[in-house]
Structure 1
Amino acid sequence: MLTKVNVKWKEDAVSHFMTELIDYAGLFPPAALSLTEAIKNYHSYIHGPNSWMLGPFVLPASRLGELEPFREQFNDQYPLRLSVILNNSWKFEADLMDAQHFLETYKNAGCIEAIEVPLPSQVDFACLEELDKQIACYRIFCEITGTNEQLLAKLDLIQKINKISSRSFGIKYRMGGITSNMFPSEKQAAFVIHETKQRGLALKFTAGLHHPIRQYRKEVETFMHGFVNVFTASIMVYCRSVNKATIQEILLDENSTNFSFTTDTLSWRNLIVSSSEINHARNFFAASYGSCSFDEPREELGELAIFHGEGVR
């Protein structure tokens, strides 16, 4: 398991790669925990030595009203940080009222860091303008689906709204699920990563990224994308402007030895980025990913022989 082991850790490449990488989505399949169990886990994680890898708790807006009993478990030093998924009916008034009630109840012991919005198949600029007006206080990530043509249309709309919005809308893209048909091909994923970067949009992922390196999994009867593959590809496209073919190669790579961390670099084959470049890419492009497990990804990453130099044990 990865742990901080010296005062220079904050400058290490793997630290910049992993900092707040995993948004905890324990309520969602395949874990599908109860809210009590998921909150208990999150409370444990934020008090643990690996809390620096943890992002916000992912919660459907419809369940914001259930958080009041857990208020005393959090405080201003260890708050309940949320990424809230709005309903997909495009009527957000009740969701936003519940969000305000959560903030008033938790005060400094809780915050909403992002709003996630599933975009409908038919969405236009007026819809995004209204969304921008209604949700003025939060960072927004729009989940996009559809054919390449539909994806491009949505990316163009979001790029357009960012030109007039006071904050930047980002993209959320689904990398898997509980059945094989929910996993995008490497070609589809590479297309989204490349086109999102081309438009200067931030990108976060969700689902299917339990394992660091791409591998075939019997439980879903397909190949699951690796989060090291996905974020290495995203960082390389941001820092090195690699093309879609190279992104696909990185996503398809099942050989963990092709990926390497030193104290100051991340490399895939002959492509290398520095620690500071990783940090920049993570801050402005490759945001995070939602996972129903916080332990499994970290533990499997720690078992790989891809680390060279001090900082990891």
Structure 2
Amino acid sequence: MNPPEPAVIPPLFTELVDDAAIFPPGNLPLAEAVEAHHAHRAAWYADLVGQFLVGSARTADLAALADPERPLRVGVVVAGGAAAVGDAVRIVLETPGLVLAGVEAAGDPADIVRAYHEHLPEGVPGAVEVAADESMPDALDAIAETRHRAKFRTGGTVADAFPEDGRLAAFLSGCVARELPFKLTAGLHNAVRHTDPVTGFRHHGFLNVLTALRIAQADQAAGLPPVVHSIAAALGEADPAVVAERTGRTAAAHGAEYRAAFTAFGSCSIAEPLADLVALGLIALPADPKEHTP
């Protein structure tokens, strides 16, 4: 009997989900999270999975778990602003078995960028977290002058951590206007806009982001300024069938180009976004049913 054909993750979803298993609300113990990540990287859906995210306070603990036989691509989430970048990345860079794949930090954009230029190897991108307030345009301008990218928080453990549609739309349109790549973090476990039945929080969907991005880029290509209310309407669409159909068109129309703009999102679950993509018919399961479960 011939072995089953491996499942293919479309370019639109390749390395879309950074593994934030140790962060809230997942809070998986570090050693368990590392082993789970290695399992994800060996599974049929491996191409969906991006970096293993670790807080800068845990890099020494992660170094103790490093295995040169199983290299781990690491994204460091730096606490402490620009001054903490150097020490955080040094541990990863000096540890066999750890590969620095990215760095994320919040603070004054100019200070963060200077720290990135001082401490990051040329091929390692940094993400600068942008606040959802009136400082956003200036912050995006500062990042757009560099080789780095913007980061925006789309949720958390309290209701106020979830930005309104207009705020997220303004961030997306601002990045598109500046041709600035971005990543998102928190609250995007699921593909489609929904209200969590337990918390009552209104979550953004990562597929909504992709379809909203398509609208913004189409406006830009036509020489028009992105229309924030149209982008916000796409973010607010809660019908899975509508979002899946729009995503299918996005995937068919040069999916890799959209992903050059939306580089990844962090999720404490790999299983949830994968299950949603399978349920919506956007990723096909492998032939062997034993391979279905993360």
Fold match by TM threshold 0.5: yes
* Residue 118 of structure 1 pairs with residue 109 of structure 2: no
Question: In the aligned structure 2, how far is the partner of 1:16 from the partner of 1:130?
Answer: 32
Task: For residue 297 of structure 1, report the CA deviation from its aligned partner.
Answer: 1.4
3-state SS of the aligned residue for 1:71?
A: coil
1:290: which partner in 2?
266
Q: Percent identity?
A: 23
Aligned pairs for 1:1-313 (under 5 A) are 15-72=10-67, 75=69, 78-92=70-84, 95-106=85-96, 109-119=97-107, 123=108, 125=110, 127-128=111-112, 130-137=114-121, 138-147=124-133, 149-160=134-145, 162=146, 168-239=147-218, 241=220, 243-260=227-244, 266-267=247-248, 272-273=249-250, 275=252, 277-282=254-259, 284-304=260-280, 306-307=281-282, 312-313=284-285
Ranges in structure 1 where 5+ consecutive residues have no aligned partner = 163-167
Contact 2:192/2:206 (CA < 8 Å) preserved in 1?
yes
- AA at the equivalent of 2:167: Q
Q: What do residues 216-236 of structure 1 show as CA deviations (whole Å, max 9, x unaligned)?
A: 113332211111111222244
3-state SS of the aligned residue for 1:105?
A: coil
Name the count of aligned residue pairs.
Answer: 275
Q: What do residues 133-158 of structure 1 show as CA deviations (whole Å, max 9, x unaligned)?
A: 323413110001141x2111111222
**Bigger shift: 218-227 or 16-25?**
218-227
Runs of 4+, deviation exceeding 6 Å: none
Question: In the aligned structure 1, how far is the partner of 2:207 from the partner of 2:109?
Answer: 34
Q: What do residues 105-127 of structure 1 show as CA deviations (whole Å, max 9, x unaligned)?
A: 21xx32111110112xxx364x2
Q: What do residues 2-38 of structure 1 show as CA deviations (whole Å, max 9, x unaligned)?
A: xxx757x76xxx6112110100001111111111121
Question: In the aligned structure 1, how far is the partner of 2:117 from the partner of 2:251?
Answer: 39
Contact 2:78/2:88 (CA < 8 Å) preserved in 1?
no
Contact 2:74/2:99 (CA < 8 Å) preserved in 1?
yes
Question: In the aligned structure 1, how far is the partner of 2:195 from the partner of 2:109?
Answer: 38
- AA at the equivalent of 2:26: A
TM-score (norm 2): 0.85
Q: CA RMSD in A?
A: 2.3
- AA at the equivalent of 1:289: F
Q: Residues 175 and 146 (structure 1 numbering): CA distance in 2 closer, same or farther, change over 3 Å?
A: closer
Q: Residues 128 and 58 (structure 1 numbering): CA distance in 2 closer, same or farther, change over 3 Å?
A: closer
Question: In the aligned structure 2, how far is the partner of 1:51 from the partner of 1:235?
Answer: 25
Question: In the aligned structure 1, how far is the partner of 2:95 from the partner of 2:65?
Answer: 11
- AA at the equivalent of 2:106: P
Q: Residues 258 and 131 (structure 1 numbering): CA distance in 2 closer, same or farther, change over 3 Å?
A: same
Contact 2:132/2:167 (CA < 8 Å) preserved in 1?
no
Q: Which of structures 1 and 2 has the larger relative contact order (alpha carbons within 8 angstroms, sep 6+)?
A: 1
Question: In the aligned structure 2, how far is the partner of 1:227 from the partner of 1:250?
Answer: 11
- AA at the equivalent of 2:77: I
Contact 1:239/1:277 (CA < 8 Å) preserved in 2?
no
Task: For residue 132 of structure 1, report the CA deviation from its aligned partner.
Answer: 4.1
Ranges in structure 2 where 5+ consecutive residues have no aligned partner = 221-225, 286-294
